[in-house]
């Protein structure tokens, strides 16, 4: 019996060693592909490795890093889908055709304004993107076609006041005016007592996803029920979620 257990243990360790070596090879290959500007290839390499050895934290973390870069940063248009601007096109019309936001097109192409020129080549990705907030882990996942692309840390409502459920992204605001429910007054963006940060995304009634001037509240229950994010993070989520189309799901646990 002891001999059998020893054989099983050795076999298990050997399998773990092989998977570890395969994971290391995948990480090295993905790094080389990323350095060569082939983000799509690097993502495919990590995805393939994860299928062979699911649950590897190092691979999952690397995949999230690569996805964030692919979907949120300006890059060579040849690395993704491209769109050639036609007469009459606007950022809004192009974004609508691809289920994304005009802001995301601007982000992906480093555009300073919404002016386009005929035959201009734009890097495009296809949406829609959805958000899933997991209360137990204080995380917000960005998802596309039921696959998690990457995650952010969030803060939640005091005394478990963040509502669970399925919602649709609503109105979005840049540099939002804040409404003080208790005093029934408004607080202008930039005022000393303004706490909403740089972005607001409505999810239900007075609840939303927004930035914060209190970064220490991330990972804690300190809001009045809303989902708080670091300003840099919420600006990325703002550019990803399409009002009226992107789903926002809040769950208690994974």
For the chain, how many helices (H) and strands (E)? Answer: 6, 15
Q: Which residues pair with 202 in a beta bridge?
A: 208
Percent with pLDDT over 70 in the chain:
90
**Model pLDDT, residue 5:** 54
Query: Could you tell me the pTM of the whole model?
Result: 0.88
**Model pLDDT, residue 4:** 56
Tokens 């020129």 belong to residue: 117
3-class DSSP state of 139 = strand
Count how many Cα atoms sit within 13 Å of the Cα of residue 248 in the half-sphere of its side chain. Answer: 26
Looking at the annotation, which residues are catalytic?
Answer: 210, 226
- Whole-number Å distance between alpha carbons of 123 and 82: 5
What is the mean pLDDT for each group of 10 consecutive residues in the chain (254 residues)?
53 53 92 92 95 86 95 73 95 97 96 96 95 98 95 97 97 94 88 95 95 97 96 98 98 95
**Model pLDDT, residue 54:** 73
Domains and CATH numbers, the chain: 2-70 (no CATH), 77-124 (3.10.350.10), 130-251 (2.40.440.10)
């Amino acid at each position: 019996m002891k001999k059998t257990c020893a054989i099983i243990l050795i076999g298990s360790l050997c399998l773990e060693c092989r998977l570890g070596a395969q994971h290391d090879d995948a990480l090295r290959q993905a790094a080389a592909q990323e350095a060569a500007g082939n983000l799509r290839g690097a993502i495919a390499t990590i995805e393939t490795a994860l299928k062979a050895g699911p649950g590897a934290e190092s691979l999952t973390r690397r995949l999230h890093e690569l996805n964030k870069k692919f979907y949120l940063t300006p890059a060579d248009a040849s690395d993704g889908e491209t769109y050639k601007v036609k007469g009459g096109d606007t950022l809004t019309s192009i974004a609508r055709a691809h289920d994304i936001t005009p802001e995301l097109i601007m982000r992906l192409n480093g555009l300073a304004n919404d002016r386009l020129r005929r035959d201009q080549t734009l890097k495009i990705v296809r949406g829609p993107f959805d958000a899933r907030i997991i209360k137990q882990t204080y995380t917000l996942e960005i998802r596309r076609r039921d696959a998690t692309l990457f995650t952010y840390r969030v803060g939640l409502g005091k005394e478990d006041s963040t509502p669970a459920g399925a919602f649709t992204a609503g109105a979005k605001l840049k540099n939002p005016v804040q409404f003080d429910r208790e005093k029934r007054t408004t607080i202008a963006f930039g005022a000393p007592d303004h706490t909403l940060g740089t972005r607001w995304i409505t999810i239900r009634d007075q609840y939303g996803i927004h930035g914060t001037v209190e970064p220490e509240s991330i990972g804690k229950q300190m809001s009045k029920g809303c989902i708080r994010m670091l300003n840099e993070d919420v600006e990325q989520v703002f550019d990803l979620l399409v009002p009226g189309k992107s789903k926002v799901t809040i769950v208690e646990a994974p």
